[in-house]
Amino acid sequence: MPREIITLQLGQCGNQIGFEFWKQLCAEHGISPEGIVEEFATEGTDRKDVFFYQADDEHYIPRAVLLDLEPRVIHSILNSPYANLYNPENIYLSEHGGGAGNNWASGFSQGFVLCHSIAGGTGSGLGSYLLERLNDRYPKKLVETYSVFPNQDEMSDVVVQPYNSLLTLKRLTQNADCVVVLDNTALNRIATDRLHIQNPSFSQINQLVSTIMSASTTTLRYPGYMNNDLIGLIASLIPTPRLHFLMTGYTPLTTDQSVASVRKTTVLDVMRRLLQPKNVMVSTGRDRQTNHCYIAILNIIQGEVDPTQVHKSLQRIRERKLANFIPWGPASIQVALSRKSPYLPSAHRVSGLMMANHTNISSVSAFPLHRGQHWGPTAAILMSFQLQTVFSGGFNKAIASPTDKGRVGSSQLGHSRAQVWSGVLSVLLHPWCRSPRSRLQQDSLSLAKGSLGSMS
């Protein structure tokens, strides 16, 4: 009996990428838009029951809960050909239907794969609330999130976007077991440069995200000899509890017009391309003062692959030193082999997904901090948050960790911008970087070493 996974889709972004994810799973498992298994897909060698369950009339229903504070996106799903796929009892809309107004505090109303954006109101606020409640109600269950980070190349028209991101980052750090970072900056770059799509639409970006989500769950849906459950999938990637923000890469990424751009897909070629920054779904910044490196890597290789090819490829990568690892952990690339869907035609013999824990992920988390510091918390913005009951104790109190209350004051309006944001930065910067010039990073590295020592 497979262990089931429940998917939570929050807000506009979460429901849109969730919709593409379920379309992809239906195609891979031979399930029609009405939830009926196609005649050619009755051999039953896959694990549909991990993400679907069967109703009394034998049609498959996603183990998904759809939530939004405004009805537009969910109504579009219910008017699509996949309207009968979902269980209506698992669809929740706000009675008022007015949305969260892009305000984190409004979304913080009244687990497990969570799909959401960290910048909007519903995905950030309601997502944060659900993370806390899931952590309390199901403390022994894993919570994995697919979190969409805002585009760094565009100036958002949502003024409170950096603050929504800050508040959500705290909850992702404290209450999630694994966060798969989906960076809108990198997704748009890949769509433009790799897929040659000018001005990519939300739907095209969401198809990229659904490819990542479906590839990362193939070992759960197509049983093999390892990585058959969620904890086995992520355990090797997270050495300490707080170091759970992961980046992903995928190859080959092609469209119908550009299939010829990738001519050879051996195991070595796929694993080598996965290490190239242009195939990574995170726009990592270049820091000359810090020697960024990998903490752990898991490659999921799809296709008919000879295990000896994997061993030879790993040996070649090690000889060429294509990946730099941390000095205080095992320098190895974990590889999981998975079958491809027999119901989807593929132009390539081998494809691969990389899930990696890398120190440079800190640059993505630091972006909303620096943007918020640049803009500064104006009195009007603070007032829009403090009108919500969750901020009755002060803005900084909601941002700071319980162990850091001494570092950040509880009264926001009484401090200067520089004082406030220096405190916020010191609290929220995660211990990924290894720079000899940063005392905070040195302390974090020492803490990580001590944690590893106590675990061994």
pLDDT digits (tens, 9 = 90+) for 110-157: 248 999 988 877 888 888 889 998 888 888 888 999 999 988 766 655
Q: Taking all residues of the chain, what is their mean pLDDT, rounded to a whole number?
A: 76
Cα 74 from Cα 297, distance rounded (Å): 36
Q: What are the residues whose beta carbons fall under 8 Å from the beta carbon of 403, sequence distance 6 or more?
A: none
Q: Is 159 left (phi over 0), alpha (psi -120 to 50) or beta?
A: alpha
What SS3 class is residue 66?
A: strand
Q: What is the pLDDT of residue 285?
A: 64
Contact criterion met (CB below 8 Å) for 177 and 193? no
pLDDT digits (tens, 9 = 90+) for 215-262: 999 988 887 777 778 888 888 899 888 889 999 999 888 655 444 455
321 or 393: which leads in pLDDT: 321
Q: How many CB atoms lie within 10 A of CB 358?
A: 23
* Residue 252 preceded by cis peptide, ω within 30: yes
Tell me the percentage of the chain whose pLDDT exceeds 70.
Answer: 70
Residue 398 has pLDDT above 70, yes or no: no
